[in-house]
Amino acid sequence: MPISFDSEKRIFKLDTKTSSYIFQAYKEDYLIHLYYGSYIPDNSVEFLAPHQHNASFSPSNPVLEEASGFTCDSWPMEYSCNGTGDMRVSALAIRNSFGNTSTDIRYISHRIFKGKPALEGLPALYSMSDDDASTLEVETLDKVTGAKVYLLYTVFENYGAMTRSVRVENSSDKPMDIQRVYSACVDFNSMDFNMMHLYGFHCKERTLVTRHLEHGIQSIASKRGSSSHTHNPFVALAKDNATEDYGEAYGFNLVYSGNFAADIEVDFNGSTRIIMGINPTDFSWRLEPGSSFTSPELVMVYSAQGIGEMSRVFHRLYNNHLIRGEWKNKKRPLLINSWEAAYFDFDDDKLVAFAKRAKELGIEMLVMDDGWFGTRNDDTNSLGDWYVNENKLKGGIKSLVDRVHALGLKFGIWYEPEMISPDSDLYRTHPDWCLQVPGRDKSIGRHQYVLDMSRQDVRDNIFEQMSTVLSNNHIDYVKWDFNRNISEAGSALLPADRQQEVFHRFVLGTYELMGRLVDAYPHILLENCSGGGGRFDPGMLYFSPQIWCSDNTDPIERLSIQYGTSMCYPVSTVGAHVSACGRTGYETKGNVAMAGTFGYELDPIKLNDEELETVKKQVADYHKYYDVIHSGDLYRLIAPMEDGHHCAWGYVAQDKSEALFTFVTMLYNCNSTFFARLKGLDPDKYYRDSWTGEVHSGALLMNAGLSFKNAPRKDGTSFTVYVEEVK
């Protein structure tokens, strides 16, 4: 059984094939954390409690003898509370009816069951059968305030992964306000970690940053209303000596698309605490008697085989237990998108001309991006008016869709459902429908305001408008965009003492609308987007199997964006296109975009003969290598920041019978030969590689490596090496 409880010692043990996670209901029913790391078979582990830890002016529980050494401040706590002796960052703070925020939860009971429950109103990982996941729910109580707190743990035994969430119930007869409720807390007894996280901005999302932990609090967060371009809700703690292929790494990824925070504190003992969840800034939640609040889910992955294996576990887990619906395992259509091809300057004939040329090239779907609705010829108006601009699409959408389908292509369309232009019929009719606070100007971003998605009437209106188009036309794909961050987050419908709920209610409203859309049109392939990858998170992936990775389509700059993205997100989710811009030739553009969903974002009529031939070859390669790329495991060979010259990665089939490796010369180095050791192959198998044309053992290819003496000696060039088992 992956989850066990020793009723005598009151120890919980959550095992996967590769990891163990252990905590205890200690004296006075405190929940203390004992261990998280490589799998250990032992059950007698109570001695792991840190009896020797220093306390430094740390107050202790009056009932427990001071001699026991226990203080909430110096011992590893399972879920840290505010104001009752633990001075480190706390996961939970509830303002009670007396007005203070002192919070103290103690163990009451627990239940262990097979499978994984859904989280109300929230995206979450799911189990496919009772056998692939087991759940522990620990009931705790703050006796003084009546706050019941349930700690939820689900173990995915075959993955080295678990999920965490917290549900708070008000079992008292007075209201209380949750001021912070992080999704999980994990205490480690050392500080020898590097913190890895993904920072960025528009056109430079998810760039990997690695820094050593220091005493004090180190945090990443978003208070932009979305998970954001600037910080992704992903953090890894990798042991000092861990590398891509060796050593211990703990990955944390929040299934949430709004304001989040990850706080990591190293205390005076040199112990490390990580808490991650909804950002407590601008958050508070009124809990009336009998009601409950559920936190988003945190995914935790442990790897003893380096950062690379941590990523592969995330990838497998998300492909199998996060991505849903018809498109989960279906081959994604190779698309061409009108945005960089035409921006707002198109009509039906132009789009049909794109489609004709695209068809000749073997492209499978045309996506009509921004500009088809209201009176939109630039970005200053019409968001919220989701009816067709017949000046552009002369016979309406139906005629265009039919013409594109008649050519044998699928058809996709762009929306930005959460936004409203001040210059729109919707705003003129419902000025109170956007987020705003009394007495203040509304900040403007890309000439637009943000709709109040916490309101049912707003969501219903947008859903009906979208339905009118989606139900009456055969639309195969929707791109859902989100092109500004949220300010003045106030809702006209909520009372003053609930205004701090707006940011979270906004996210819940968006999830509800997106869920409704996905349920009503299960055949539609949904791709999320937010000015590129400003909302690239597991919450969005629960609804859309792919997300546009970045508006930056320069293949060299994309290398570090896609490298960072690959820390936890699988290739099947990474929207990547070949565009006309960018500093390299089409070959490298294609090789880089192939590390994603693949498609085109250009005017196909402007391609010259040589480029047309390259595109045809890419389309053929897309089909040839689809399975190994999308079902294979990612091995990162050379990180883009490693030597400043090269970047390389590969996908290896699960049965290790074939692999495709890609090598990019970012900046040609005239003094050294491009050389790389392959990874992920079977050392005992023999392979023919397309570079030498010869047969070598996996052991040779991985240990001695390949030397690319004849590789192109030019910046921005690239090539692939296909490796196939020879029996």
- The whole-angstrom separation of Cα 167 and Cα 154 is 14
> Binding of ligand GLA at residue 369 (CB under 6 A)?
yes
Contact with ligand GLA (CB under 6 A): which of 78, 177, 370, 689? 370
Q: In this complex, which beta carbon is closest to ligand GLA, that of residue 58 or of residue 553?
A: 553
Q: In this complex, which beta carbon is closest to ligand GLA, that of residue 76 or of residue 371?
A: 371
N-to-C CA span, the chain: 39
As separate numbers, helices (DSSP H) first and strands (DSSP E) second, the chain gives: 12, 39
Smallest distance, ligand GLA to C-beta of residue 539, A: 18
DSSP assignments along 677-695, one per residue: ---SS-TTSEEEETTT-SE
Phi-psi group of 26: left, alpha or beta (phi > 0 → left; psi -120 to 50 → alpha; rest → beta): beta
> Binding of ligand GLA at residue 15 (CB under 6 A)?
no
Alpha helix positions (H), 348-486: 348-361, 396-406, 425-429, 456-472
Smallest distance, ligand GLA to C-beta of residue 293, A: 33
Q: In this complex, which beta carbon is closest to ligand GLA, that of residue 277 or of residue 531?
A: 531
> Binding of ligand GLA at residue 621 (CB under 6 A)?
no
Sites for ligand GLA among residues 483-522 (CB under 6 A): 483
> What Rg do the C-alpha atoms of the chain give, in angstroms?
27
Smallest distance, ligand GLA to C-beta of residue 133, A: 35
- The whole-angstrom separation of Cα 590 and Cα 456 is 43
> Binding of ligand GLA at residue 600 (CB under 6 A)?
no
Name the one range near ligand GLA by CB under 6 A: 113-121, 231-239, 422-430, 527-535.
Answer: 527-535
Q: Classify residue 333 by its DSSP letter.
A: P
- Smallest CA-to-CA distance from 323 within 593, 609, 128, 102 is with 128
- The whole-angstrom separation of Cα 303 and Cα 35 is 15
Q: Is 348 a catalytic residue?
A: no
Q: In this complex, which beta carbon is closest to ligand GLA, that of residue 306 or of residue 374?
A: 374
- The whole-angstrom separation of Cα 254 and Cα 182 is 10
Smallest distance, ligand GLA to C-beta of residue 625, A: 25
> Binding of ligand GLA at residue 228 (CB under 6 A)?
no
Q: Are 180 and 218 in contact (CB under 8 A)?
A: no
Name the one range near ligand GLA by CB under 6 A: 76-84, 110-118, 525-533, 705-713.
Answer: 525-533
> Binding of ligand GLA at residue 244 (CB under 6 A)?
no
Q: What x/- string results for residues 408 through 427 when contact with ligand GLA is judged by CB under 6 A? A: ------x-------------
> Binding of ligand GLA at residue 554 (CB under 6 A)?
no
- Point out the residue whose Cβ comes nearest to ligand GLA: 370
Name the one range near ligand GLA by CB under 6 A: 95-103, 260-268, 432-440, 528-536.
Answer: 528-536
Q: Are 385 and 424 in contact (CB under 8 A)?
A: yes
Q: In this complex, which beta carbon is closest to ligand GLA, that of residue 339 or of residue 674?
A: 339
> Binding of ligand GLA at residue 35 (CB under 6 A)?
no
Name the one range near ligand GLA by CB under 6 A: 27-35, 249-257, 529-537, 641-649.
Answer: 529-537
The catalytic residue among 348, 423, 476, 481 is: 481
Contact with ligand GLA (CB under 6 A): which of 152, 342, 393, 529? 529
> Binding of ligand GLA at residue 205 (CB under 6 A)?
no
Q: Site size for ligand GLA, by CB under 6 A?
A: 11
Give CA separation, 706 vs 513, 661, 698, 699, 709, in Å.
51, 11, 11, 12, 9
Contact with ligand GLA (CB under 6 A): which of 86, 265, 481, 557? 481
Smallest distance, ligand GLA to C-beta of residue 483, A: 5
Q: Classify residue 72 by its DSSP letter.
A: T
Q: Are 593 and 576 in contact (CB under 8 A)?
A: yes
- The whole-angstrom separation of Cα 603 and Cα 612 is 12
> Binding of ligand GLA at residue 339 (CB under 6 A)?
yes
Smallest distance, ligand GLA to C-beta of residue 365, A: 15
Smallest distance, ligand GLA to C-beta of residue 416, A: 7
Tokens of 271: 């112990």
Give CA separation, 195 vs 34, 242, 267, 294, 453, in Å.
22, 11, 15, 27, 34
> Binding of ligand GLA at residue 532 (CB under 6 A)?
yes
Q: In this complex, which beta carbon is closest to ligand GLA, that of residue 341 or of residue 571?
A: 341
How long a stretch of residues is the chain? 727
Q: At what angle do helices 396-406 and 348-361 cross, to 10 degrees?
A: 20
Q: Classify residue 46 by its DSSP letter.
A: G
The catalytic residue among 267, 385, 537, 551 is: 551
Residue 369, classed as helix, strand or coil, is coil
Name the one range near ligand GLA by CB under 6 A: 20-28, 257-265, 455-463, 524-532.
Answer: 524-532
Contact with ligand GLA (CB under 6 A): which of 2, 280, 531, 680? 531
Q: In this complex, which beta carbon is closest to ligand GLA, that of residue 481 or of residue 557?
A: 481
Q: Is 551 a catalytic residue?
A: yes
Q: Are 478 and 524 in contact (CB under 8 A)?
A: yes
Smallest distance, ligand GLA to C-beta of residue 222, A: 18
Q: What x/- string results for residues 115 through 154 when contact with ligand GLA is judged by CB under 6 A? A: ----------------------------------------
Q: In this complex, which beta carbon is closest to ligand GLA, that of residue 263 or of residue 370?
A: 370
- The whole-angstrom separation of Cα 642 and Cα 649 is 13
Smallest distance, ligand GLA to C-beta of residue 430, A: 23
- The whole-angstrom separation of Cα 506 and Cα 181 is 17
**Residue partners of 686: CB distance under 8 A and separation at least 6:** 695, 696, 697, 698, 725, 726
Q: Are 136 and 256 in contact (CB under 8 A)?
A: no
Sites for ligand GLA among residues 37-56 (CB under 6 A): none
Smallest distance, ligand GLA to C-beta of residue 337, A: 7
Name the one range near ligand GLA by CB under 6 A: 512-520, 526-534, 654-662, 713-721.
Answer: 526-534
- The whole-angstrom separation of Cα 522 and Cα 505 is 25
- The whole-angstrom separation of Cα 425 and Cα 415 is 16
Q: In this complex, which beta carbon is closest to ligand GLA, that of residue 481 or of residue 633?
A: 481
Q: In this complex, which beta carbon is closest to ligand GLA, that of residue 187 or of residue 527?
A: 527
> How many other CB atoms sit within 10 Å of the CB of residue 66?
12
Q: In this complex, which beta carbon is closest to ligand GLA, that of residue 513 or of residue 529?
A: 529
Q: Classify residue 619 by its DSSP letter.
A: H
Smallest distance, ligand GLA to C-beta of residue 450, A: 15
Q: In this complex, which beta carbon is closest to ligand GLA, that of residue 65 or of residue 345?
A: 345
Q: Classify residue 180 by its DSSP letter.
A: E
Q: Classify residue 641 by its DSSP letter.
A: T
Give CA separation, 694 vs 454, 686, 691, 707, 723, in Å.
62, 10, 8, 13, 10
- Smallest CA-to-CA distance from 318 within 545, 130, 649, 122 is with 545
Contact with ligand GLA (CB under 6 A): which of 548, 661, 674, 719? 548
Tokens of 665: 């010369």
Binding residues for ligand GLA, per CB under 6 A? 339, 369-370, 414, 481, 483, 529, 531-532, 548, 551
Active site members: 481, 551
